[in-house]
Amino acid sequence: MNFQMFKLNLEKAEEPEIKLPTSVGSSKKPEFQKNAYCFIYYTKAFDCVNHNKLWKTLQEMGIPEHLTCLLRNLYAGQEATVRTGHGTIDWFQIGKGVHQGCILSPCFFNFYAEYIMRNAGLEEAQAGIKIAGRNINNLRYADDTTLMVEIKEELMSLLTKVKEENEKSWLKTQHSEN
């Protein structure tokens, strides 16, 4: 199968920049040779979830208020300090990140990521790959996202939309070429 891989660096560029594609494998089927993919990895994804934005996201995604309130109480009043060789610093409020090891943490991030993709307008976008009569332009698993299109020029449009929404959500992305 012939995949076109792109390397994207959103942290250093004002506009998303796409490196030249590289081929991996080969296929005799032409329908596989025209697709383009971009693999997005969120840097420290579970540490970057802003609590206030998360509660707003849960509300906008239709989670009942009583459940949102219950979840918010799990994170209310969290404080931390840092111990150094010279003592400890003053206590401070924790306003982002999800609990490590909590079974709800991946769900929280998934809601956050779903909200980003919806606001980026990927559901309405014409760019994508037709699979069983449906237009699919992104696949997500936990903090990994793959954008995919049939025409590589359409990838820039999707990347720009996702970049803008990521910045609003304070998520940092990292992209790699495989």
The answer to whether residue 171 scores a pLDDT higher than 70 is no
Q: Report the predicted TM-score, pTM, of the whole model to 2 decimal places.
A: 0.61
Output the pLDDT for position 143.
76
Output the pLDDT for position 65.
93
- Going by C-alpha positions, the residue among 1, 54, 66 that lies closest to residue 27 is 1
d(CA 92, CA 12): 30
Output the pLDDT for position 178.
34
Interval 65-94 mean pLDDT: 87
Output the pLDDT for position 20.
37
Output the pLDDT for position 78.
81
Interval 26-47 mean pLDDT: 69
Tell me what the pLDDT averaged over the chain comes to. Answer: 74
Output the pLDDT for position 66.
94
